[in-house]
Amino acid sequence: MTVAVESLTETYTRDGFVFPIEVVDSSEASSIQNDLEKAEAELAHDSERLGLVRAYPDRLLPSFDRLVRHPKLIAAVSPLLGPDLMVWSGGLFIKEANSSKVVTWHQDLNYWGLDEVNEVTAWVALSPSNIANGCMRFVPGSHQRSLVPHKDTFDENNLLSRGQEITVDVNDADGVNVILEPGQASLHHGHLFHASGPNTTDQRRVAAAIRFISTSMRQETGDRTLVTLVSGEDHYGHFTVTGPPRDRLVEEDFELCRRDAAIKRQILYVGAEGKVGKRHAATHGAY
């Protein structure tokens, strides 16, 4: 980890984000991406399972389960959330080569239906993430504004689940480009304003967004969504806690993810009924 714990905590508290965090080396990052792409090839003719792999790689591929449990990630997040940590989601965020798809300015926790703000997203780059291929952009200090109004656009060029965007003015010039090498991560607060641009390169941009939460949190609806306990103990029992994948791409694990995707779809699209269209049930957002 390139950032000292004291500096990490101070920077995160002030800015709402910190990077880069060294998680794995470039060869391991490449190996994890290769495992994903092997699974994508195996499921190329099964769109439902392919969508689940992209939304739940940590529940279906042992390589991603190891990533969400990585000691360097736990060491970075624990000073911010405490020793008892769950992963609420570990979905993939992929921008294909030469893609015009973008992500508008938004805040994550506006849509996840969680009752507290004790959440940190670790965005782990498996391929390079830079300006040319649509890296994330953060507005420093914007997490201190709590939640602001958003609107749903369902714009086909917007990778977010609802095409959501902040309705208050955001000065794009205030954004900081989050440039990461493979194996590096950023951490960001669930209230932070963030966005990303198109991928203008000939290579896909691939990352895992690992959403760590304190075990004290719960879904406001009372639903027991699927989580993985990665550090400490769960003294609350608010979620359905699952262990590592049984093996690689096992049907029992697909069924767990399938049931959770149905619950999360209801949570993510509250207030947008009738407008969802073709958005995938397993989508949790995008960057």
Q: pLDDT by residue (tens digit) across 210-222?
A: 999 999 999 999 9
Is residue 140 a part of any domain in this protein? yes
Is residue 250 a part of any domain in this protein? yes
Is residue 87 a part of any domain in this protein? yes
Name the β-bridge partners of 164: none
The C-alpha atoms of residue 31 and residue 39 are separated, in whole angstroms, by: 12
Band (pLDDT 50/70/90 cuts) for residue 19 is very high
Preceding peptide of 245 cis, ω within 30°: no
Rounded to two decimals, the pTM is 0.90
- 80: CATH: 2.60.120.620
Is residue 281 a part of any domain in this protein? no
**Number of separate helices (H) and strands (E) present in the chain:** 7, 14
Q: Give the per-residue pLDDT at 286.
A: 43
Is residue 162 a part of any domain in this protein? yes
Q: Over 90: is that where the pLDDT of 181 sits?
A: yes
Structure confidence by residue, pLDDT tens digits, 53-77: 999 999 999 999 999 999 999 999 9
Please give the share of the chain, as a percent, with pLDDT higher than 90: 76
Structure confidence by residue, pLDDT tens digits, 115-146: 999 999 999 999 999 999 999 999 999 998 77
How are the residues of the chain apportioned to helix, strand and coil, as percentages rounded to the nearest 5? Answer: 30, 25, 45
Q: Give the per-residue pLDDT at 205.
A: 97
Question: Domain total for the chain?
Answer: 1
Q: Give the per-residue pLDDT at 147.
A: 75
The C-alpha atoms of residue 172 and residue 176 are separated, in whole angstroms, by: 9
Band (pLDDT 50/70/90 cuts) for residue 256 is very high
Is residue 280 a part of any domain in this protein? no
Average the pLDDT over 45-49 and give the result: 97
Band (pLDDT 50/70/90 cuts) for residue 38 is very high
Q: Give the per-residue pLDDT at 157.
A: 66
Band (pLDDT 50/70/90 cuts) for residue 102 is confident
The C-alpha atoms of residue 97 and residue 222 are separated, in whole angstroms, by: 40
Band (pLDDT 50/70/90 cuts) for residue 5 is low
Q: Over 60: is that where the pLDDT of 284 sits?
A: no
The C-alpha atoms of residue 89 and residue 57 are separated, in whole angstroms, by: 9
Structural domain of 197: 5-268
Is residue 127 a part of any domain in this protein? yes
Residue 186: strand, helix, or coil: strand
Q: Over 70: is that where the pLDDT of 150 sits?
A: no
